[in-house]
Structure 1
Amino acid sequence: MLAKFWNNISNAGIELEHSQSASRYIILTNRFAFISGLISFLVLALLYWSAADQEVKTAWLFILFTGIVFFLVLFINKYGQHELAKWLICWLPAILVIFLSISDKSLSKHISIQDFFSYRFFLMATVIIPLMVFGTSNPLKLIFNLLPSFIGTVFFDYFHRPFGLAFNQLGYNDPNFYILDIMIALAYFGLVGFLLNQVVISEKFEQKMNEQQQALQEKNRELVHMNSFINEQNYEMNAQADRLTESRDALLKASQIIENQKQQLINQNKTLEKQVVDKTKDLSRVNEELIIINSELRQFSHTLSHNLRSPVSTFQGLLNLIDRKNLSQANLELLDYLHDTVRKMHEVFSDMNEMLELRNTLYQSIEEVDLQKLIDELYNIFYAEMQGNNISFKYDFNGQKVLKTNERRLNGILFHLISNSIKFRSECRPPEINISLRKMDGYYSIVIRDNGVGIDLEKYGHKLFYPYQRFHSYKCGKGLGLYLVKLQTESLGGKVMVRSQPDRFTEVEVQFLS
């Protein structure tokens, strides 16, 4: 529960379009704000119990206000004002420390020399906040937000002069006191330099990792494109070979008919020759018609899955241009219905495109698949859902580290099965997902088992592997997961088996050639 609460606090204001570094800055800002708010209210409580007289009323109100502002930073981040949130979290701690120092000295009856150093050290520590939440991408913003810690640390004594609480105003006369200011300034710059160096090293490492990841993604896209081109060429060659075989078989059949009729009906040779010519023409015509029909079917499938998506996207864009302010309530409901219909059409075309791609892909490249890397990638994809729903995720490969198969297909199979296990989890018990692998005689067996809502196989078993079949009306989904798993498994020369009991478990076993 605490981990979930802390995760929600940390991620307030993070959107999908945020980069990794931007998300990290938002998380750090939220955590600094939350911790600073707790510290403010803790100081407020200590002040309330230790000195509850009228003299501390101003300090009490200021600390209360500061603590509230710290917590408001979370809401400021949540509503997208990230720069304002970072500025507040950089300035408020330094202001609060200076205020506490002045309040402490004004209320304390005995002021020691150490009171002039402890708060300075706290001020110096606040330098870490701007470096952590701004980084080095914008030097001007970083320098501006380092000012409160710098001014407060170096000119600490000058803030106390208007209140008669400076070092020499309290009876401490040391002609070399200014040297302390210089030493503290040098220590401040040394600390900033050290921390800045660490931040630069971290950012360079992160940038290098991002560049390597982008390079790998680009290489992967090139490989996918090359694989698609090879598959298309292979498909066309197979189709041409099939047409040649059909033409040859038809010609052989016609030749046999001609030979038989020639032997039996010598006297009708001219008639038979005419019949042979007619049959040859008929066969050619039928063959041409079959070629045309096959081409039209492929073109029709391509049109449904590709060409119609552009008009649908255009129609969706036109709907977005409609001014909702000038529409009546009835027309607004109609417009929302049109938006929903267009979205569903777009999803149907995307589903058809994926199904056609799986059906038309004849060649699957075989490669060595790193199981640990594959599972880590899938876990990262579903990390937020698993953490948010406290899902236990375990796997056991029985010592098997590498599989020789098509990585893209295996990734798709596991993705859909893990997604189904998360989506159809039970609300009555802690969700569990277990993946196991065994190498059998000539094939691999992967079993994905969960303790979710299960499937009534007696009622729905005959519909399991058909598209758009939903077995739980109260759960969202399109009913394509198991169908796509079946297509991808069959493309690897394998098969899928499902075992399940309602409200107990679901176990899906995928077998494919090793």
Structure 2
Amino acid sequence: MSLIHPVLYAGQKFVDTAAGKRGVILSNAISLSLLGLSLILFAFYYIWFDWNFVTISIPCVGLLACASILLNSLGYTHTSRIWICVLIPGLITALSIYSKHIYYATQEELDYFTFRFIILGSCSFPWIFFSIREKRYLIGCSLAGLSILMLFDPLHAAFGVGYDKPYMTIEMYYFTNIVIFISYCILISALAFLKWISEKNELRSLELIEELHQANELLTEKNAEIEAQSAELQAQSDVLQNNQKDLVNAYDIIQEQKERLFSKNQLLSTELLAKNKDLTDTNSELIKHNNELRQFSYTVSHNLRGPVASLLGLVDLVPPDRFRPEDAEVMQHIRISAENLDTIIKDLTKIIDIRHDIFKIRQKIILQNEVHDTVQLLQKDIHQHHIEIRTNFTACPYIYSVKPMVHSILYNLLSNAIKYRSPERAPVIEVSARESDRYTVLEVRDNGMGMDLKQHKDNLFKLYKRFHFHTEGKGLGLYLVKLQAEALGGTVDVESELNRFTTFKVYLRKPDDVERQILYKESYAEIFFDARLNATGVIWSGPVTDEQYRLAYRKCLDFVKTYNSPNYIADISQQGHIEDNELQWMLDSILPEAARNGLRRIATIRHDAEDEHVQEYIRRIAEQLRTLNIVSRYFRTFQEATLWLEQENEQLVLKNAPVKKP
């Protein structure tokens, strides 16, 4: 056994995989087995057939098979297996042909089957020696063995020793090839399935071994950690035992302090309840005083305007030549004081209006148009001082915001830029706009006197604060700009360098919804403003009374005037029955006034226009609208009406767009 072991494992060191090692060992083992079998077969052939060429060739074949062991030991592991896979069927076929060539006259039919069975058996060698992953060698050797097996009869016939015996018909003899091929398929299929199962289980075993190895290493590490922790715990246990006595003493002290804290806590709870009650009473009192203060400021700002306006009127009624020179000077001081008081009251009214959040409705504001309107108000100063106004609204041509506030912001910033221009250079004011994620940014930049922000930034937006005294002013403009920007959900930022430039950036928060801003809402009607369509709208939830009908239409007319909306959209499908006198009142009072204030288009939604009364109602309105040059359309859905107004607005923009000259 000690002599066979080195032979069996010869060449194993040259392969890395388990399947490769197994193939090398099997090729060595089968080579030895073939040598042993050839010697046994040699003995039987000698006994039965005495000395002849076949008898002598049998042990030679066994010796040639042992060449596989030599090739493995030299490292040619693939060559050794290919050698034995091809050698045996090839030599057996050659030996069969040669033997029949010599003894053809005395051959029997059995001689054409015995060699074939040996070749069939050797066809199993590739599936024993090679792994499924070694596809190239496995398939090549298998095809070589199958080819030799199937070419057994053609090769014999080619060398002139084909089967030609009377004992069996040639058709029956050739049928044996089918039997041999079926036997080959059964044998190889069984070996292939066995090989696939074996290698699959082997691969899974290797994976499990690797996992077990990793788990083992992890367990070793954990054991080491546990041992270290155990030692540390033991040390800590000793420390804890030493500290336990101290903890018991500390616990007694804590219990005593806890009782004291409990008593203090009860006392503090009683005091806290009392303080909370005082705070609630104080807060209620502050709210009351705040409301009273707002009412007082509102009363002062509005009730004082009448007497001041009367005073100014009376001063204007008195001719200047009725007074002596000294009295005329006093009268002039009275006039100036009254005018200053009127200005202060107006400013106070603006501040109160903003803080009371009167302005809520967002409109679509074309920035170029708004700047143009503001420039027209300041045209005298702009022309007088040769001021150049540059605008750039390419990035943001329009915004949705409160129009009076935006107008006031632009007016105050442009007015300040004109007022504080530099005498050393030609005045240039740049106005632009851009968008960020949540804000629209209006930017006004001038090349004027500038300011020292380090010194004045904290007081820049305070009421009645001024930093240049060579020009007229009250110090209210920037305060209003900041107040209005904050009322619009934004803020103001400023950059400036003394005697170089000043840039104001006004951040206006983008509104969430501009399509249906509620102006008036009751159970019978909802009036809204759509900034995207520039339309005032009403949705009736009738039936309505005569008083409700008139009240709602008066409010609609007021809103058309306030927001200068050329479009009107109405859903009258739930309006109910309207009396003739009420309809006539609307035709005579509301529609003409709306037309005079710029109403140009009306979109009406009415689903059940088959009713005769409704048809008459619609017909009379349509006739009146034609006389007022108001375009009217009727639709089945709100979406259709909205789409029509969008198209009309787009056509109006295209019509009014400037034509570029070639």
Q: Please tell me the TM-score bracket, short chain as reference.
A: 0.3 to 0.5
TM-score norm. by structure 1 comes to 0.43
The structure number with the bigger radius of gyration is: 2
More RCO (CA 8 Å, sep 6+)? 1
TM-score, normalised to structure 2's length? 0.34
